[in-house]
Amino acid sequence: MDTTNDRALLVRHQEAERLDTMGVTLYADHGTTGGALSANRTYLAAGTDGPPPHFHTTSAEAFYLLGGTLRVLAGTDVHILTEGDFLLVPPYLPHAWAAPADAPADVLVLFTPGLERFDYFRLGDRIRRGEARPAEILDAQERFDNHFVDSPVWRQVQDADFRAPLDPAAHRAEFLASTVFQARQPD
């Protein structure tokens, strides 16, 4: 694919790669945009968690809600996005997101500058299909610039869990036991 700046990049929805276990459609990655951005569309059924709290060191992550409702952690704030809302999370700011119990979420997610994200999503898909281990996501945090962290605020909002911040070993154990990367079949 041409990654120079003298041609537009067009990705037709029906031609985009779809990872059904993740609800993710992959549109453009670092390599196809000359590093300008990465783009995907994620659909979460009502009551479905997106990624656990994490941050990126090199890219901002932008959310544009195409439909439904999305609960987003951004630092220590929790925002409720509805159709048409836009949120930009700068580098290093811990964030997470989920569809609330009463509504699905259809969200366009952009990273700028672009990150090599497609292989990260493909790894998540393999984990959900039972073909890879959740620990592989933790082992690849540096490669994908996706650094998982504990967020007492997010645990309180999502699970009514009021424990103090977890130490690294407890956080790792909870991450590996979470439902986010449990094997599941596509909806």
* 81-121 confidence digits (pLDDT tens): 999 999 999 999 999 999 999 999 999 999 999 988 999 99
pTM: 0.91
pLDDT of 186 reads: 53
* Domains of the chain with bracketed CATH: 13-177 (2.60.120.10)
- Tell which residue, 133, 151, 169, has the closest CA to residue 49: 151
